[in-house]
Chain A
Amino acid sequence: MIRLTEVVKEYPRSGVALAHVSFAVRKGEFVYLTGPSGSGKSTILRLLYMDEKPTAGEVWINGVSSKSARGREISKLRRRIGIVFQDFRLLEDRTAEANVRFALEVTGAPKATIRSKVARVLTQVGLASKATSFPRELSGGEQQRVAIARALINDPFVLIADEPTGNLDERATRGVFQLLRDINASGTAVIMATHDLDLVRRSNYRTIELNHGRVVFDSAESPASARPFDEPFDIQETPTGPSESI
């Protein structure tokens, strides 16, 4: 469903962001992307929703290749991908309901189905009673739920979340995380970039760890116990190859 093959991403100014990254994500899988800041997590996510193209290698997602995808095809692809960010990215001048509806309207969805679909996803994220609230009237956790509702509105096959709990307190984090688990349980794959080691440790999902643009650990390829989570990511200064981590 999602496959990265020998993906390299270089930026003209900051240099190599990803170096020969390869992994695949199966249908309905839950994957954590972890690693220190600047290790390439967000770059991978941007490559997945094709905001950027790899410098070398190839990204396959839902039958679309990064080598051939163009404007319209990318737009169509994004309608099948839900994207959530740390900073929610809601439109401040619209209600929760209007923010969710917006995602359907701008993709030219038929008007008749919009109302019921919006009501359904708002209920799914537990915000049916706050449909008419503006983002500033909602807590951080609630705002992130609106963003998740917006991401779910087009029935995505995968939800891509970039530090979705980064701005939330512990309680809200737990709530949002539980919501993502529920979404995953209903068959949607989730790829979540996170710093939150507690979260990663507590759940038994596949974890891919990046450092300096390389995959240094992938729990799908090694026993779950092999990677001790006792050292904080931030101290790892030198790039390490996959063989060293295992």
Chain B
Amino acid sequence: MRSAQEALTASRRAPLLSALGVLTIAFSLFAFGLFGLVAINIRRALEQVSERVEVRAFLSDSADIEQVAAAMKDIGEFPEVLRVDYVSQENALERARKEMGEFADVFEAGVLPASIEVHLRPGMRSPTIVKSVADRIKTYHFIDDVRYGEEWVEKLYRLRNIATVAGIALGVAFAAVAVIIIGATIRMMVLARAKEISIMRLVGATDMFIRLPFLIDGLVKGVLGGLVALLLVWITNRVVNQYFIETIFFNRELIFLGIVGGAAMGMFGSLVSVGRHLRRV
């Protein structure tokens, strides 16, 4: 209780420094948050594209409908498979006409073979897995041909890998910059009170008593900085949504994690900075 009071008094005594501290934390986290926003949106876009990864097996004209049904059931039980759809000749024709409107009259019934469409589970869409599923489907004797856009799947997968690696590297860099800036800010705030700390030690305040107000101060500034950063990212997201492209915002868990992260950083920074001062008068 007294520590909380001390923390509050300290902030009141140096309002400018406190505000500067909160703003520095806020902008460091804002930069990190913006990066995070870009990262989750790229991720979502790639996921949407990868949902279109599918294996299409064309049936021979002589295929027995019961055999096909049994095969579909088998294939549906593959661990990699999400869903199996049957596309009849009529459906295929209809779809082709819709997708290529200007050539609608070119297609005639019977030209397009019936097929089964195999959709894969998320995380099961890498080139090797797709190929292995396709190979297994090929073994049914009534399957004429299996297609899955080999080249396209590989390209998509490579793009995903690049995005992931770049995301992690940039994320670590941004986080490191935020930690360094926040650490320096807190160090500055502690330095401003170095004399106070040394006097507290001389008159016999325990280390815990000295530390606690700084921890609370760091915690409060971390949370405040986190909230300001969140607000800034949210505003940015709104603006982008309104004038440029549709984007998604962080979900509740990520927001919570961000604020807890800010608080932890504030507390940890204070702990380290004060610790250095406690070792000498």
Chain A interface residues toward B at CB < 8 A? 46, 49, 51, 71-72, 75-81, 83, 89, 91, 93, 102-103, 105-108, 150, 154
Contacts and interface: CB of A to CB of B under 8 A. Distances in A.
Given A89-B195, A93-B13, A106 B207 contact: no
Interface in B186-240: 195-196, 198-207, 209-210
Given A71-B206, A105-B2, A106-B204, 4 more contacts: A51-B280, A89-B202, A107-B209, A150-B203
A105 B1 CA distance: 13
Identify the 3 closest CB pairs spanning chains A and B, nearest first: A78-B204, A79-B204, A106-B205
29 contacts: A46-B281, A49-B202, A51-B201, A51-B281, A72-B206, A75-B201, A75-B204, A75-B205, A75-B206, A75-B207, A77-B204, A78-B201, A80-B204, A81-B204, A83-B202, A89-B195, A91-B195, A93-B13, A102-B203, A103-B199, A103-B203, A105-B2, A106-B203, A106-B205, A107-B204, A107-B205, A108-B2, A108-B209, A154-B204
Interface of B: 2, 13, 195-196, 198-207, 209-210, 280-281
A51 to B, nearest CB: 5
B203 A76 contact: no
A96 B202 CA distance: 17
B24 to A, nearest CB: 23
- Majority SS of interface residues in chain A? mixed
Contacts of B281: 46, 51
A72 B280 CA distance: 15
B13 A78 contact: no
A89 B203 contact: no
B204 A89 contact: no
A83 B2 CA distance: 25
Contacts of B199: 89, 91, 102-103
Nearest to A89: B199
Contacts of B210: 106
A79 B203 contact: yes
Contacts of B207: 71, 75
Contact of A78 (B196, B202, B280): B202
Contacts of A83: 202-203
A154 B196 CA distance: 18
Contacts of B200: 102, 106
